[in-house]
Amino acid sequence: MREIRFAVAAACLSLAVSYAGANPTAKTSEQEKPKDKKNVAGPCSPDGFPTGNVNPISCCQDGNRASHTNDGKTLVLRIYGTPCTEADGVGTNCSGRECTYGPCGAKVEWAVTAQEVHIFRPNSKPETCGWEANHIIACRVGCDWPAGAVRNHPEPFVGQKEYPGVIAACPFRDCLKGGIPKR
């Protein structure tokens, strides 16, 4: 059993190391990012989304942050860290939904439902992800925006190029105690 745990942990670490080289979402905090490198917004990595769920129809990733919508009406900001860890991004004394960072390394920072959602490349700051929630219906988690409001970042949506969707590729569905993602 110990050998199996070691093999699974080694395989996950190997994937995380190779993933971190190509994708900055393996970072657990802004402080860990090299000072001389800037984040550049782009389409989301499929490795941050579990297979078998609804695939985002539009998604932008900027470092360890991803803005996405699965239906054009719900806007979610996800923060990526070490999979199957507690809120500090380090502790592994959790399992299942007790883990703040799920089996694909994401936690939901906030989510809002609106009549219309856009995720786009902003003209003013193309290195960041642009988003807009038009006519907010309800904050689902982590926000207190009033119904009917319009929220956007870093500028209003006025027809800029929208980001494409992504097909989920993370095979993990659950967390085992000890920080072990499980299929």
The DSSP code sequence of 96-142 is GGG-SB-TTSEEEEEEEEEEEEEEE--SS-TTS-EEEEEEEEEEEES
Q: Phi, psi at residue 67, to the nearest 5°?
A: -105, 130
| pLDDT band (50, 70, 90) for residue 10 | very low
State the residue for tokens 């642009």: 130
Determine the average pLDDT of the residues in 123-144: 96
Q: How far is CA 114 from CA 7, 71, 134, 135, 149, in A?
A: 44, 11, 6, 5, 9
| pLDDT band (50, 70, 90) for residue 53 | confident
The answer to whether the Cα torsion of 122, 152, 43, 56 is positive or negative is negative
Dihedral angle computed from the Cα positions of residues 165, 157, 27 and 19, in that order, rounded to the nearest 10 degrees: 20
Quote the percentage of the chain above a pLDDT of 90.
77
Note the pTM of the prediction, 2 decimals.
0.77
Determine the average pLDDT of the residues in 54-59: 96
CB 117 within 8 A of CB 134: yes
State the residue for tokens 């936690």: 107
Ranked by mean pLDDT, the top range of 9-23, 37-51, 115-129 is 115-129
Quote the percentage of the chain above a pLDDT of 70.
79
